[in-house]
């Protein structure tokens, strides 16, 4: 369908709120609910839309003359024909109170430019890539862990995901399982991708905050890897502000320096946006 034809269809569905200029109107392909507070969804990808794995984009709904847009990390890799997102549901959240009700066939708005610091370009070359996340902060890493370029640049890739409850870990568990079984890059990641999930408020195979697990050395012990070394390790951090602050202090203590698109270095951070 051409962009014009697509906009016509959408305008027909919601005649009172035309699609704003310069915004893509995409169709919801699938929705999956994990808990009362977490869901993922996939939408069509505009043909012209390019992004780097790990970036975020502004998402909205065609439900107002001036729709509310929020930053969402793209959870699908840059080669995927569709776009995937992982979201919280906030009962009175300006966007998520509506977004959590989307169904296949509905329209989601997306601004045209993607951006972000959790990209491979913002890191200097290294051997091990640590992707440290809490909650929906896993989203940019869901993209990077499925991108072959990540494995071209790093020998080993470790995804840590910490949530309060076990059910919140399901999205990441399934991603990790599907990655290893993936016909395209399963072989490439074999023995090189490590998924380290912990719950903090329920019993689980592994428990505790990632900060405590780094400080005690248990994370490294469990994985059979040496502690952070600026010569070898590169770190990406995504989650709540508090978690970022505390993990950042730990990696800085290990001698890593913060990088950006303009000045790549040894670690990068980004908060998980929607709250």
Binding site for ligand A2P (CB under 6 A): 134-135, 162-164, 200-201, 209-211, 240, 242-243, 246
CB atoms near residue 177 (< 10 Å): 11
Rounded CA-CA distance 171/157 in Å is 18
Question: Minimum distance between the CB of residue 202 and ligand A2P, rounded to whole angstroms?
Answer: 9
Name which of 86, 76, 139 is nearest 271 in CA terms: 139
Structure tokens at 259: 């990088």
Rounded CA-CA distance 52/215 in Å is 32
Question: Minimum distance between the CB of residue 212 and ligand A2P, rounded to whole angstroms?
Answer: 8
Nearer to ligand A2P, 40 or 162 (CB): 162
Structure tokens at 40: 């993922």
Q: Characterize the bridge pairing of strands 23-35 and 107-111.
A: antiparallel
Question: Minimum distance between the CB of residue 241 and ligand A2P, rounded to whole angstroms?
Answer: 8
Nearer to ligand A2P, 127 or 201 (CB): 201
Q: Phi, psi at residue 229, to the nearest 5°?
A: -135, 120
Question: 3-class SS at 68?
Answer: coil
Nearer to ligand A2P, 54 or 135 (CB): 135
Structure tokens at 39: 């869901």
> What's the DSSP call for residue 120?
G
Question: Minimum distance between the CB of residue 58 and ligand A2P, rounded to whole angstroms?
Answer: 22
Q: Which residues are CB-contacts of 187 (< 8 A; sequence separation ≥ 6)?
A: none
Question: Minimum distance between the CB of residue 240 and ligand A2P, rounded to whole angstroms?
Answer: 4
Nearer to ligand A2P, 82 or 173 (CB): 173
Question: Minimum distance between the CB of residue 102 and ligand A2P, rounded to whole angstroms?
Answer: 23
Nearer to ligand A2P, 201 or 257 (CB): 201
Nearer to ligand A2P, 59 or 272 (CB): 272
Rounded CA-CA distance 196/174 in Å is 13
Nearer to ligand A2P, 126 or 135 (CB): 135
Question: 3-class SS at 80?
Answer: coil
Question: 3-class SS at 235?
Answer: strand
Question: Minimum distance between the CB of residue 21 and ligand A2P, rounded to whole angstroms?
Answer: 36
């Amino acid at each position: 369908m051409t962009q014009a034809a697509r906009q016509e269809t959408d305008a027909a569905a919601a005649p009172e709120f035309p699609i704003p200029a310069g915004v893509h109107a995409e169709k919801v392909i699938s929705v999956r609910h994990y808990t009362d507070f977490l869901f993922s969804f996939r939408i069509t990808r505009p043909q012209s839309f390019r992004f780097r794995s790990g970036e975020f984009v502004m998402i909205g709904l065609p439900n107002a003359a001036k729709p509310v847009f929020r930053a969402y990390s793209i959870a699908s890799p840059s080669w995927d024909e569709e776009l995937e997102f992982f979201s919280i549901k906030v009962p009175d959240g300006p966007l998520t109170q509506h977004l959590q009700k989307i169904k296949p066939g509905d329209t989601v708005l997306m601004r045209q430019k993607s951006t972000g610091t959790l990209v491979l370009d913002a890191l200097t070359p290294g051997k091990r890539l640590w992707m440290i996340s809490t909650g929906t902060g896993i989203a940019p890493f869901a993209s990077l862990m499925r991108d072959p370029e990540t494995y071209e640049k790093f020998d080993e890739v470790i995804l840590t995901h910490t949530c309060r409850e076990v059910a919140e870990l399901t999205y990441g568990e399934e991603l990790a399982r599907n990655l290893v079984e993936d016909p395209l890059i399963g072989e490439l990641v074999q023995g090189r991708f490590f998924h380290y999930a912990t719950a903090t408020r329920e019993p689980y195979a592994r428990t505790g905050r990632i900060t405590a697990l780094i400080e005690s050395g248990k994370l490294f012990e469990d994985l059979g890897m040496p502690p952070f070394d600026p010569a070898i390790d590169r770190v990406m951090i995504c989650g709540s502000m508090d978690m970022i602050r505390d993990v950042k202090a730990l990696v800085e203590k290990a001698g890593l320096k913060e990088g950006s698109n303009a000045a790549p270095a040894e670690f990068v951070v980004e908060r998980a946006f929607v709250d």
